[in-house]
Amino acid sequence: MSAESAAPLSATILSVDDQPANLRVLVECLEAEGYHVVVAQSGEECIERALFVRPDLILMDVHMPGGIDGFEACRRLRQLPETRDVPVVFMTLLDELSQKLEGFAAGGVDYVTKPLESAEVLARIRTHVALYALRRELAGQNARLQQEVQARERAQAALLRTNVELEQLAVERAIRARAEGESAGLRRLLDERDQMLAERDEMLHLLSHEVRQPLNNASAALESASAAIAAMGDAPTNGIGRPLVRARHVLDHVIGTLNNALAAATMLTSGHTEAAVDCDLDTLLGLVVHDVAADERHRIDVERTDAPRTVHVLPVLMRLALCNLLTNALAYSPRDTTVLLRVADCEEPLGLLFEVRDAGSGIPAELLPRVFDKGSRGSNVGAVAGAGLGLHIVRRVVELHRGSLEILPNIPRGSIVRMVIPQGIEV
C-alpha cells in the first residue's frame, strides 16, 4: 500500500495563518477533499488548538506578525509530548534554502510555497498524514509487541519458577522415598531386634527358672549333706566333708555369677526392675547373710546403729548388691579376719547407710577410677574367680535407688564400701 493511498480521509488538519482570506481558501479546499479542518490565526493559538484537537497534520504559515512566528511555534510543539510527533508543513512566500533549513531545524517535515497549488498541497498532506498514521500504527504495534515480550518474559519466569519447584518437588519425593525405604529398613531391624529380645527374654527366663532353681536346690542339698556328715563326726574339712565343701563353694560361685548375669541382662541393662516396697530390714539382712556360703557366714558381723525397722527399697536388687559386697570382702580378706556389715540411719541425705568393712589388702590405686566398671578386675585377684560383674551390679543398684556409692580406706588395713540409699523418694 502506498503512503498516498493510506491517507485517512477523516484526518484532522490544523491550518495556521494570520490572513482570514488564506484560511478560507484552504478550508474550502481541504473540506472538499473530506478532511476535518481546524483554524488558528497565531502561533500561540496554534499550540492551544493542537493540544485540544490533536490534529493529524499542521499546515503552518511561517510569518505571523504580532506574536511568535511559525518556526518558534513548531519548536514549542516539538517540546510537548502530546504534539511532538505531529507533522508540520510550512507555508511561505520564500523559496530560499536558508528558510527551508531553518524550518527543518525547527521540526518541520515539508514546505509548500505561496501562492499555493491545491494539487501539490493535497498531495503533500495525503503523504504526510499517511506517514503519520503509519508511524502511529507502528508505534502501537511496537507497544503491543513490547507488551507481548513482557508477557512472554513473565511467562518464561513463571515457567522457570515452575521448573525449579518441580525439580525441588522431585528431590523432595526422592528424599521421601529414600526416607520411607530407610524407615522400612529400620522397622525390619526393630522387628528383628524385638524378636531377638523376645528370644533373649525367653532364654533368661529359662536360665532363671529352669537352671537357677535346680542349682539352689543342689546347694541346699549339699549344705544338708555337710551338716549330716558333720553330725556323724566327720569334720567339714576332713574325709568326705572336704570335697562337699569344695563342691558347695563351686556351686555357690556359679549361682552368684548366674544371679549377677541375670540381673545385668534383665533388670539393669534393659531398665526393667521390680517395684520398690517397704520391707523388714532384719529379714532383708538375714536373707543376705544366708546367701553367703555357709562356711563363711561366721566371718560376718552385722552391726545396726539406730537403723529403722522398715526400709523402702527394691528388695531383690538390694539383696543382690549387699551379697556381692560381702562376697567380695570375704574373698579378698584373710580367712582369719571378719567382715563388718554396718547399717545406720543417715540424715544428710535422709536415708539408710550401709558400710562393708574388710581387713584385706585394699583396692589398688590404678583400679579405683574404674572399679565399678563392668569387667574390671585388679592385679591382686590371685586365684579368686569372677567375671568383674559384682561391683558393677552394686553401682547400678545404687543408681536405681538414686543413692551414692564410694570406697574409702579402712585404717590400718582394708577397704570400706559406703552405700547411702535415700528414703522417702520414689524409685
Residue of higher predicted confidence among 213 and 53: 53
Q: What is the percentage of the chain residues whose pLDDT exceeds 70?
A: 75
* CATH class label, 12-116: alpha beta
Written in H, E and C, the secondary structure of the chain is CCCCCCCCCCCEEEEECCCHHHHHHHHHHHHHCCCEEEEECCHHHHHHHHHHHCCCEEEEECCCCCCCCHHHHHHHHHHCCCCCCCCEEEEECCCCHHHHHHHHHHCCCEEEECCCCHHHHHHHHHHHHHHHHHHHHHHHHHHHHHHHHHHHHHHHHHHHHHHHHHHHHHHHHHHHHHHHHHHHHHHHHHHHHHHHHHHHHHHHHHHHHHHHHHHHHHHHHHHHHHHHHHHCCCCCCCCCHHHHHHHHHHHHHHHHHHHHHHHHHHHHCCCCCCCCEEEEHHHHHHHHHHHCCHHHHHHEEEEEECCCCEEEECHHHHHHHHHHHHHHHHHCCCCCCCEEEEEEEECCCCEEEEEEECCCCCCCCCCHHHCCCCCCCCCCCCCCCCCCCHHHHHHHHHHHCCCEEEEEECCCCCEEEEEEEECCCCC
The pLDDT of 68-81, averaged and rounded, is 94
Provide CATH code, domain 273-422. Answer: 3.30.565.10
Q: pLDDT category, 6, cuts 50, 70, 90?
A: very low
Domain ranges within the chain, ordered by starting residue: 12-116, 273-422
Q: Render pLDDT for 364-421 as a digit per residue (tens, 0 to 9).
A: 888 888 888 877 765 555 555 555 678 888 999 999 899 999 999 988 889 999 999 9
pTM for the structure as a whole: 0.47
Judge whether 12-116 and 273-422 match in fold. Answer: no
Q: What percent of the chain shows pLDDT beyond 90?
A: 41
